[in-house]
Chains A and B, each alone.
Chain A
């Protein structure tokens, strides 16, 4: 009779401990998944932006003379460079690689009206700061020519906004 009592207790302990063991690792895994997804959201949102403005009367005839002299920045390609695979090691092949990277690219920057031309961004940045210190409200137009890519324009726009210019716009496209 004493044995029966002990066996009953053993059986009870067995069934109780079984459920307990299964719970804990499952909770650990669940919390880990939760933290993983919380971190995934955070990484995706770290993007920046540069603001520019389109002149409100673009597209209509602009026969009126501009009272303020616009600062015109013209971008031209000097050397298009070579298209490489994303890791830069081999030449780019359209079906094989998802995107290409340009290597050895050179573009020239001409700041009117004194026709200061350069292909070094830092020189340009210094010159822009000089212009901006005279008049930060002066409208700036960025005029990218054939072959210019987004990265070129964004680097210049970055320096233009950094110099302190407030009104930056873009010229129309020249190709059909």
Chain B
């Protein structure tokens, strides 16, 4: 070790490396977080609502998110649970998903207290959503709070 060399250049050289390691780690962290947080949200054109409340999701709350595309496909966490193509009407996978989410929710008076967020494209026929709401009324599910995702207009 050279104690005699105390110019500024040598000092900087010694401190840089761990800082760069930390920065790279932060980048990888943000990359993973971004990917994970967007897993549940499909790319849709949401309907516009002026008085929509801002959606501040509580990470601890168990809120099922159902994405519904224009063609009626119901997608949860990138997985297509129901596809109405070819006259299919079997929504059992959606019902199973809702049931498992409802079981994990905190109950108040016997009813699950968390809402279900329905993110539907603006031109999805509304009866697709009505069918989901009817499923929620099922005795095994009993979810009674519904949130419809909307776009907030630019301020």
A residues bordering B, Cβ < 8 Å? 16, 19-20, 23, 26-27, 30-31, 33-34, 37-38, 40-41, 44-56, 58-59, 86, 99-102, 144, 146-155, 157-158, 161-162, 170-175
Determine the distance from Cα of A19 to Cα of B13 in the docked complex, in whole angstroms: 8
Q: Which of A54, A146, A149, A158 contacts B122 (CB 8 A)?
A: A149
The answer to whether B46 touches A47, judged by C-beta atoms less than 8 angstroms apart, is: yes
Q: Which of A48, A58, A99 contacts B70 (CB 8 A)?
A: A99
Report if B97 contacts A (CB, 8 A).
no
Instruction: For A148, give the chain B residue with the smallest CB separation.
Output: B126
How far is the CB of A109 from the nearest CB of chain B, in Å?
A: 14
Excluding A30-B20, A31-B23, A47-B119, 16 further A-B contacts by CB distance (< 8 Å) are A20-B13, A23-B16, A34-B27, A46-B152, A47-B54, A47-B149, A48-B52, A48-B54, A51-B145, A54-B136, A58-B134, A99-B45, A99-B123, A101-B123, A173-B127, A173-B131
Given contacts A49-B150, A99-B121, contact A149 B126 (CB under 8 A): yes
Of A100, A150, A174, which is in contact with the most chain B CB atoms at under 10 Å from its CB? A150
> Which A residues touch B115, using CB under 8 A?
51
Determine the distance from Cα of A144 to Cα of B150 in the docked complex, in whole angstroms: 18
Determine the distance from Cα of A144 to Cα of B23 in the docked complex, in whole angstroms: 53
Q: How many residues of B contact A (CB 8 A)?
A: 64
> Which A residues touch B139, using CB under 8 A?
59
How far is the CB of B42 from the nearest CB of chain A, in Å?
A: 11
The answer to whether B51 touches A149, judged by C-beta atoms less than 8 angstroms apart, is: no
Report if B137 contacts A (CB, 8 A).
yes
Instruction: For B31, give the chain A residue with the smallest CB separation.
Output: A37
Report if B90 contacts A (CB, 8 A).
no
The answer to whether B150 touches A50, judged by C-beta atoms less than 8 angstroms apart, is: yes
> Which B residues touch A37, using CB under 8 A?
27, 30-31, 34
Report if B133 contacts A (CB, 8 A).
yes
Determine the distance from Cα of A4 to Cα of B20 in the docked complex, in whole angstroms: 37
> Which A residues touch B133, using CB under 8 A?
54, 170
B105-139 interface bits toward A, Cβ cutoff 8 Å, 1 = contact, 0 = none: 00000010001010111111111011101101111
> Which B residues touch A155, using CB under 8 A?
47-49
How far is the CB of A70 from the nearest CB of chain B, in Å?
A: 17
Report if B147 contacts A (CB, 8 A).
yes
The answer to whether B34 touches A41, judged by C-beta atoms less than 8 angstroms apart, is: yes
How far is the CB of A61 from the nearest CB of chain B, in Å?
A: 13
Determine the distance from Cα of A16 to Cα of B47 in the docked complex, in whole angstroms: 60
Q: Which of A45, A51, A59 contacts B137 (CB 8 A)?
A: A59
The answer to whether B27 touches A30, judged by C-beta atoms less than 8 angstroms apart, is: yes
21 contacts between A and B (CB under 8 A): A16-B13, A27-B23, A30-B24, A30-B27, A46-B152, A47-B151, A49-B53, A49-B150, A53-B146, A54-B144, A99-B69, A144-B130, A148-B126, A150-B120, A150-B123, A151-B123, A153-B129, A154-B48, A162-B50, A171-B130, A175-B127
